Structure 1
Amino acid sequence: MATLELNQIRKTYRNADNETLKGINISIESGEFLILVGPSGCGKSTLMNAIAGLESISSGEIVIDGVDVSNVEPKDRDIAMVFQSYALYPNMTVRGNIAFGLEIRKMPKVKIEAEVNRVAEMLQIDHLLDRKPAQLSGGQRQRVAMGRALARQPKLYLFDEPLSNLDAKLRVEMRTQIKRLHQKLNTTIVYVTHDQIEAMTLADRIAVMKDGELQQLGTPKEIYNQPNNMFVAGFMGSPSMNFIKARVDLGEHDNPLGQVWTADGQAHQINLPDRLRKFDGETIIIGLRPEYITEQSTEEGRTWTEIPMKIDVLEPTGPDTIAIVEINQQHVACRLSAEFDAKVGDMVPLYFDLSHAVFFDVKTEMRI
């Protein structure tokens, strides 16, 4: 286990117009599982490669356990990396692939055998030790790649989109495997993915990146419920957060109200927090996740607003149903119960739980 500090990490490629990494600052505790998440081209894999030493940095410091390794060769950083492509040696057995790094380090054969058996049993691939990669499924190959990294017992583990080549069912199974491994070994892991579900289910903390910049660093709950800006709010969650424009008006009792219109042209008022008084006469954006727009308002202690809505689309998912409605000429996703009896075109009362709403400035897209 090791701590990792990324101090003002910048990266500019030769002949490039823009910086790929723009002053990234992240501090990772020993035993922490940090996930770097963001869309393609955001710089997350470049940052991962910089930590591993596979990419040089233009400026800044990469510090592992208090030692600046910014200019240290990859082999001397005591890091193990698991790649998207598995990167197994096809001519070697599973046993040979796991043992290879230990043999390079000239570990005694008895210890190598013991370590290979330990890792294989942990990953439930001990019955595959004499097979070659071509005889394995995608999930088995990925476990062998993980086993090769685990056998080295380095200070830091790096996972670069390790599950992206697997089918949906295997991805879920491997997520569980990785979660159990981390809980058992308490290792320090930095994990890159573009899959926000992986990020939410695996991470102790999530670093959301966009265009080479760190947008937010926090726990999955913080990222989901208290996003810094509209990009983070829209990127995390499936379906993503709804963004509803609303004009703020101070009502008769000097309370801020938001005006919204439904598809039938009817105007509706919703109560807004007192802190939005200063936006009187201006338009703001209400961020509300689909699970807070439902067909029932049974839970006490919440601020419910009832609005009759016309169902445009219904998407049954099994445990629930996603309904698409229209507010202010925008499509809005609602999460209804699987048993809810409604058809496309029906007018139904839907309840908006505004106690979980977040609000954004239209101009800056930052959370108010």
Structure 2
Amino acid sequence: MATLALKQIRKTYRNAEIETLKGIDISIDSGEFLILVGPSGCGKSTLMNTIAGLENISSGEILIDGVDVAQVEPKDRDIAMVFQSYALYPNMTVRDNIAFGLKIRKLDKARIAQEVDRVAAMLQIDHLLDRKPAQLSGGQRQRVAMGRALARQPKLYLFDEPLSNLDAKLRVEMRTQIKRLHQQLGTTIVYVTHDQIEAMTLADRIAVMKDGELQQLGTPKEIYNQPNNMFVAGFMGSPSMNFIQAKVELDAQNKPVASVTVAGEPHLLALPAALRERDGQSIVIGLRPENITEQLVEGEGCTTLPLTVDVLEPTGPDTIAMVTMNGQEVACRISPDYEAKVGETMPFHIDLSKAVFFDAQSQQRII
């Protein structure tokens, strides 16, 4: 497998009036699974296309195993791509679709047959080899598209939102299939998605993009627990992180606290000592729903507030309870076995040791 390094990648359109990629820097180790994630229009698919050579970059370097391929033709980059639309040849059988790239490379027939059988068995589509795409389900077509890429054994695999056309159950199944394949083969993969659950479950590292800029590059755990800014914090996680507006004050012991209003009554939250220097400044407290729960949390930085349940959303493994704090809606995660009722005021335990604090103006993480 190969390493990939993107250095100061820029892409402009319409005589440099529109800059789609704004100096992207990412390095990927051999065998690493990197996911590009972000909202529609953030530039992730454009970046993928520049790696594949389907679009030219305006400036920068695309290094595969240390060799700049920015000016190399797509067919000479030794990259295989799996598209959202599958891009199968409708008049060819599954066998011929998988073998197509190998025939273009003029491998001998015995080698081609061996590779087709290998990937078909790996993807459990060997019983479909004589069918045509029209006779296959969406999940089967996606596996054929993956098989065509795997048969080539290139240096680098690119996946462009490959699961977006599948239903929810098939998406979960195909996620598991892709994860298993990566573990078995140790392939280097760059994968584009707008689905943050796909990103969290599949990636070794995640690159979060917005408006053509890289917001954060890190492991799923780093992205989830230590987001660089409020955009990353709000984009990753379902339900997304709660943002509670607050102002830092110093109490009688010179310790930083913040006042939040619940049902018209003020309540003080103890803040980390590092926020003492921000006395009088506005901050945003970021709390994941699982850090506001009915289960008692012990330890420094934990507090309990009486909150009224406005809405209950059972999800199966847990229940999302919507409450109001500081006049804004806040999502909490509680046990499905807890008999909560809409309109009921109950004690919610808040683990502020897991909170993330942002500057209210720049929206960058403070601590």
Q: Conserved in 2, the CA contact under 8 Å of 1:239 and 1:290?
A: yes
Q: Conserved in 2, the CA contact under 8 Å of 1:247 and 1:260?
A: no
**TM-score, normalising length: structure 1:** 0.98
- The whole-number CA distance in structure 2 between the counterparts of 1:91 and 1:4 is 35
Q: Deviations over 1:149-177 (max 9, x none)?
A: 00000000000000000000000000000
SS at match of 1:209: strand
Deviation at 1:15, TM superposition (A): 4.3
Query: What does residue 110 of structure 2 align with?
Result: 110
Q: Deviations over 1:173-217 (max 9, x none)?
A: 000000000000000000000000000000000000000000000
Deviation at 1:297, TM superposition (A): 1.2
Query: What does residue 136 of structure 2 align with?
Result: 136
SS at match of 1:19: strand
Q: Conserved in 2, the CA contact under 8 Å of 1:297 and 1:304?
A: no
Query: What does residue 336 of structure 1 align with?
Result: 334
Q: Conserved in 1, the CA contact under 8 Å of 2:271 and 2:301?
A: no
- Structure 1: state its 5+ residue gaps: none
- The whole-number CA distance in structure 2 between the counterparts of 1:301 and 1:177 is 41
Paired residue type of 1:261: T
**TM-score, normalising length: structure 2:** 0.99
- The whole-number CA distance in structure 2 between the counterparts of 1:197 and 1:220 is 10
Between 1:272-281 and 1:149-158, the stretch displaced more is: 272-281
Paired residue type of 1:89: Y
- The whole-number CA distance in structure 2 between the counterparts of 1:316 and 1:351 is 19
Counting aligned pairs with the same residue, the percent is 78
- The whole-number CA distance in structure 1 between the counterparts of 2:121 and 2:300 is 49
Query: What does residue 323 of structure 1 align with?
Result: 321
Query: What does residue 310 of structure 1 align with?
Result: 308
Query: RMSD of the TM alignment (CA)?
Result: 0.8
Structure 1 segment 229-248 matched on structure 2, within 5 A: 229-248=229-248
- The whole-number CA distance in structure 2 between the counterparts of 1:118 and 1:283 is 60
Structure 1 segment 164-203 matched on structure 2, within 5 A: 164-203=164-203
Q: Does 1:65 align with 2:69?
A: no
- The whole-number CA distance in structure 2 between the counterparts of 1:78 and 1:18 is 30
Q: Deviations over 1:233-283 (max 9, x none)?
A: 000000000000112110111100110001x10100010000111111222
- The whole-number CA distance in structure 2 between the counterparts of 1:108 and 1:304 is 67
SS at match of 2:9: strand
Q: Does 1:30 align with 2:34?
A: no
Q: Cα–Cα, structure 1 residues 302 and 130, in superposed 2: closer, same or farther, change >3 Å?
A: farther
Query: What does residue 355 of structure 1 align with?
Result: 353
Aligned residues: 366
Q: Conserved in 2, the CA contact under 8 Å of 1:8 and 1:23?
A: yes
Between 1:275-284 and 1:204-213, the stretch displaced more is: 275-284
Q: Cα–Cα, structure 1 residues 133 and 28, in superposed 2: closer, same or farther, change >3 Å?
A: same
- The whole-number CA distance in structure 1 between the counterparts of 2:341 and 2:296 is 20
Query: What does residue 216 of structure 2 align with?
Result: 216
- Structure 2: state its 5+ residue gaps: none
Query: What does residue 268 of structure 1 align with?
Result: 267
Q: Deviations over 1:318-348 (max 9, x none)?
A: 1110000011111000000001111111000
Structure 1 segment 35-114 matched on structure 2, within 5 A: 35-114=35-114
